Amino acid sequence: MMKYKKISLGLLITVVVTVVLGFTGPGDELLGKLVDQLYKWRALQPQEKVYLHLDKPYYAIGDDIWFKAYVTIGSKHQLSAFSDILNVDLIDENDSVKRSIKLPLSSGLAYGDFALPDTMQEGNYRIRAYTNWMRNAGEAYFFDKAITIVNGINNTVFTKTSYTYSNQNGKQKVNTVINYTDLSGMPYVGNEVSYRVELNGKTVFKGKGITNDKGNLDVAFINSTNNAAASGFIIANIKLADKKIVTKVVPIKAVSNKIDVQFFPESGNLVNGINSKVAFKAVGADGLGVNIKGNIVDGQNQVVTALGSAHLGMGVFDLKPESGKTYKAHIIYEDGSEGNFDLPKATDNAYVLSINNSKDDDLTVKILPGAGLLNSETPTDGLLLVAQSGGEIYYAGNSADGGKTFTSVIPKSKFPSGIVQFTLFSAKGEPLNERLVFIQNPDQLKLIVAGDKQKYGAREKVTISLNAKNKDNKPVIGSFSAAVTDLSKVPVDETAEESILSNILLSSDLKGYVEKPGYYFANDNAKTKADLDVLMLTQGYRRFEWKPLINDSFAPVVYQPEKTLAISGHLKTFGGKPVANGKITLFTTSGGTFILDTVSDAQGKFTFNNLIFRDSIKFVVQARTAKDRKNLEIELDNIAPQPAGKNKNAPDIQVNISDGLSPYLQNSKKLFSEQVKYGIGNHTILLKEVVIKDTRTVAVKHSANLNGPGNADQILTYKDLENMGNISLPIILQGRLLGVMFRGNVPYSTRGGGAMQVVIDGVYVDSDFLNTINTTDIASIEVLRTIGNTAIYGSRGGNGLLVITTKRGDEGSVYNRYAPGIVTYSPKGYYKAREFYSPQYDDPKTNTQMQDLRSTVYWRPNVITDKEGNASLSFFNADGKGTYRVVIEGIDADGNLGRQVYKYKVE
């Protein structure tokens, strides 16, 4: 047992602090219970985390998103073997899932990709990743990253929008300037623009205008939602000289310039007579930090201390409140306006848990009681201080019997890197105070990355060597991913870039939005460490709360860890009774004949386990009773997918998604043209003018079109939709349907008005139903937009219609409808990750005539170091000259994390 020296400081009393090992004292029974409960929690609900390493920070339509997944578990961040399947979603700015894939995990690792079709809409997207098991703890633990996807292929109109705010008759007024230019920056002058404003999903204003000599359009509207935190979009249609209509969707992140300032006394309480830290955070209506300055004044308006934000609206000051006094913060904003905020009231009957984290090697912890507690004659059984990380206790200290305070110096080496939660308990187990501390030990992997030359030429072969060692300078076998980008095409803000370190160690454990988490790891210096400590004082922790844990109130387990793909269900009679010993056959003819048999149990349940199949495969499930009767019902267990939910990183939404990306946009357009020239890639959009011929001659069987089959403004058949993989139907149709645009899976005619009516096999359905349709089941899609084709539908056709006909068996593949004892089923299978194409210029078969305009020059997700810690990468440069950036991230078997950035020149 380790004991610390007795101390005497002012009103402090003699204390004895012990560590977990050999812990004895007044709190040993409570500590034992805490240890037991944490062990039980870890055993019943082990916590997984997911991090995705992406090849780039932003993308363009026609690009590919490449990523490597790292799934860890526990406080030591070791690779998880708990789940064997990972879900990855691409979600648009309307919180609609556009792509969803399943990846098999091997020892917590997987890699995959998203191809971004050139029919996709530009905008703010996000990538989300999670295991089924993680759903038990809620979406807060999912990997969720905001990305922008821009359009440099066929985009002729670019916007830049600014907002100012005012008050009109007690209502929030938003004044907007939308600037319209082409790709070269030339303004659109004298162009008509019609627009509508949507807030919280409802249209609140419509208007028209003309762009001025600078290409600007003024839009002003009132927030009529009575919601000060409303957000939404401006959907604006600009008419070009060739009478073409271009629609731009501009995000509205905020409807006011209101700034909220919150104050956070260290460990929760301001206590009279005790000097303590008070952190603060100033946040704008858009969710981003705002710099402020000002003073703390008492009730007589006397200045007590000054304050000023140090980073992203956050800062800290010291305050020693006096009994009987109240305090306010007088704030001065960047625009010169002022505001006043009340500080929390101080008390005499509370503790201050003060931790000094400014030293490199040690934490200094002090427990200081208010005068009401210190002078009380009521005996106490002592205090217990516990520090845990990831559900494991790494330190415990208690006061002497009857003690009301203590102090301690704790080596940081006792803790793993990451967030440590310090909690002060009464002897009865009541949590009194809490303080988060971030530990940055020098235990990261040491990655040495080097090129075989100092400078290279275009298309020259490059060999990059990697050596990985742990904190003890011993070589490690680890799994890494490597991305090489051309910085002249893909500029990066390295101070704000998320990494495997910032995600797994920091943001994955914090509640709410964390602005620029990568900043705290980009430069390891005194300022970033101080700023990180202020973040710990202002940001909530979300792993668990002590009271439910102590009371054995564990959250119920609803979702089980996915180990394999499975198809399960129940057999029932038409009257709903279970059918035991029924014979169930599962088969498919996709890619060859596949047949499995099983038998239902006493409750009629059946399961086909350990299946391996790719996405988009259709199965047939056939059942018979033990007496070979087929008149029964098959009820499949179809686990509902995770809803998209609200974007927890909404403040990261970019109002001007193309701002600063001109080099990337121009390169994207050149790359697309070069690929079309040589017939490379699966492209739909052509840069040449397309002449639409009479489509009414197309034969459409079984159509419910009231005008008669084929009488439509445009027709797509199943042949137009072949080989589209698992892309959602709205994405496939975007750009293919003339005069139709999609927002949140809902089709709108560019003629204006509300959502188009969708008709499936004669049934009127909601407009967003399109996202649920399997593309392979469609025989034809008829677009009705003009009055000649919509009039027959009356009011239902006011905004146009999409008439969809599904397959009957005589168009393309067979579509099986339900029959007694038979169902068809298309579960989500494994996505087969593609291989990144890297041209080999030393191979005579390689096309050397085509320009090499790659922005991601190389991507390799499976870099494995050998027992000496070595690995190497070899690839050829593109044609771009300038600085190339190599980012390598990864993990070893012990959960040690590593990241290194290396740059080289191409001349």
Please give the Cα distance from 605 to 578 (Å, whole number): 8
Bridge partner residues of 264 (DSSP): 279
| Radius of gyration (C-alpha) of the chain in whole angstroms | 31
- Residue 792: predicted pLDDT: 83
* Tokens at 764, concatenated: 């009127």
* Tokens at 610, concatenated: 């350990």
From 52, 78, 77, select the one nearest 65 (Cα to Cα): 52
From 565, 207, 546, 205, select the one nearest 387 (Cα to Cα): 546
Handedness of CA 409, 415, 420, 423 (dihedral sign): negative
- Residue 18: predicted pLDDT: 35
Q: Residue 903: what are its φ and ψ, rounded to 5°?
A: -125, 150
- Distance of alpha carbon 93 from the chain centroid: 12
- Residue 15: predicted pLDDT: 31
Q: Residue 136: what are its φ and ψ, rounded to 5°?
A: -65, -30
Bridge partner residues of 747 (DSSP): 742
Interval 41-50: pLDDT, tens: 988 889 999 9
Q: Could you count the other beta carbons within 10 Å of the beta carbon of residue 47?
A: 23
Sort strands 897-906 and 455-456 into parallel, antiparallel or unpaired: parallel
Please give the Cα distance from 692 to 689 (Å, whole number): 10
- Most distant CA pair in the chain: distance in Å? 97
Please state, in angstroms and as integers, the Cα–Cα distance from residue 195 to each residue in 94, 219, 223, following that order: 18, 9, 16
E-strand stretches of 631-790: 633-636, 714-717, 740-743, 746-749, 757-760, 763-765, 778-784
Ranges of residues in the chain whose predicted pLDDT is under 70: 1-27, 377-380, 400-403, 589-593, 616, 682-699, 723-726, 808-819
From 251, 280, 402, select the one nearest 342 (Cα to Cα): 280
- Residue 461: predicted pLDDT: 97
**DSSP character for 529?**
H
Give residue 297's identity as a one-letter amino acid code: V
78 CB-near residues (< 8 Å, 6+ apart): 72, 108, 893, 894, 895
904 CB-near residues (< 8 Å, 6+ apart): 451, 453, 454, 455, 456, 462, 883, 884, 886
C-alpha triplet 655, 313, 162: angle, nearest 5°: 25
Please give the Cα distance from 398 to 403 (Å, whole number): 9
Would you say 294 and 259 are in contact if contact means Cβ atoms under 8 Å apart? no
User: What is the three-class DSSP state of 390?
Assistant: coil
From 467, 11, 539, select the one nearest 281 (Cα to Cα): 539
- Please identify which residue in the block is written with the tokens 């089980």: 560
- DSSP sequence for 206-241: EEEEE--TTSEEEEEEE-TTS-TT--EEEEEEEE-T
- Residue 882: predicted pLDDT: 96
Q: Which H or E run contains 35?
A: helix 28-44
- Residue 682: predicted pLDDT: 64
- Residue 403: predicted pLDDT: 65
From 721, 77, 694, 9, select the one nearest 392 (Cα to Cα): 77
How are the residues of the chain apportioned to helix, strand and coil, as percentages rounded to the nearest 5?
15, 40, 45
**DSSP character for 830?**
B
643 CB-near residues (< 8 Å, 6+ apart): none
Within a 13 Å sphere around the CA of 647, how many CA atoms are in the beta-carbon half?
A: 25
- Residue 25: predicted pLDDT: 52
- Residue 121: predicted pLDDT: 87
**DSSP character for 614?**
B
pTM attached to this predicted model: 0.84
